[in-house]
Amino acid sequence: MTRLGWAILGLIVLAIAGFLSLTRFGGGGPHASQRAAIVPVDEAKSPIPGRLAVPVRGYPRNAIRDNWGDPRGDGTRAHHGTDIMAPAGATAVAVAPGRIEKLFDSKLGGTTLYLRSRDRRWIYYYAHLAGYAPGVVEGMAVTTGTPLGYVGDTGDAGPGNYHLHFGMQRMRADERWYQGEDVDPYPMLAAGGAGG
């Protein structure tokens, strides 16, 4: 086999390993109910297991770019999320069914929202919001596509740098909204990503 062939095979094996690390086959694994519950908004009538809805209403899935690990803070830290460059005021929506765990204002994230999955094993993090959608409160149950807030430039985004920072954390059921393990959301959002 040629070097190119080995490289392609290696990439396929890594992609499969990455997908399998997010899923578990058999009865009642830690992500079994999560796989069944996650459906994209634009494909809600034909669910694709293992894929999240696009978190900005009307944003094309194939326009999402992978920026996980990019340098931030003048190179002092790595980016832990996917930035979706969208117009100011675009509607941020729930990527999966769950419950609003926390509404929070922070120096880096600005106006933020933490959505916890129904099975409590995932937190979906929305940052740099301009504000929350009417009626959004902590403890509120939501379905895929429920409006949560609006794209803004709060926190360290910088004036006029309108985008949604979307993050994911793997959680234990007893962990609080800020205690999870960061996971790259890009494979769950991008065209042709996991389950696609």
**pLDDT of the residue at 16:** 62
Kindly state the tokens that stand for 82: 């996917």
Q: Residue 11's pLDDT is what?
A: 61
Of 81, 31, 29, 110, which Cα lies nearest the Cα of 189?
81
Q: 132-160 pLDDT, tens per residue?
A: 999 999 999 999 999 999 999 998 888 88
Q: Which H, E and C letters describe 77-140, residue by residue?
A: EECCCEEEECCCCCEEECCCCEEEEEEEEECCCEEEEEEEECCCCEEEEEEEEEEECCCCCCCC
Strand partners, 115: 100, 124
φ, ψ for residue 140, nearest 5 deg: -70, 135
Convert the pLDDT of each residue in 29-44 to its tens digit: 333 333 323 333 333 3
Task: Write out pLDDT tens, residues 50-83.
Answer: 589 999 999 998 888 877 656 566 666 666 788 9
CATH number of 3-189: 2.70.70.10
Look at the pTM and tell me if it is higher than 0.85.
Answer: no
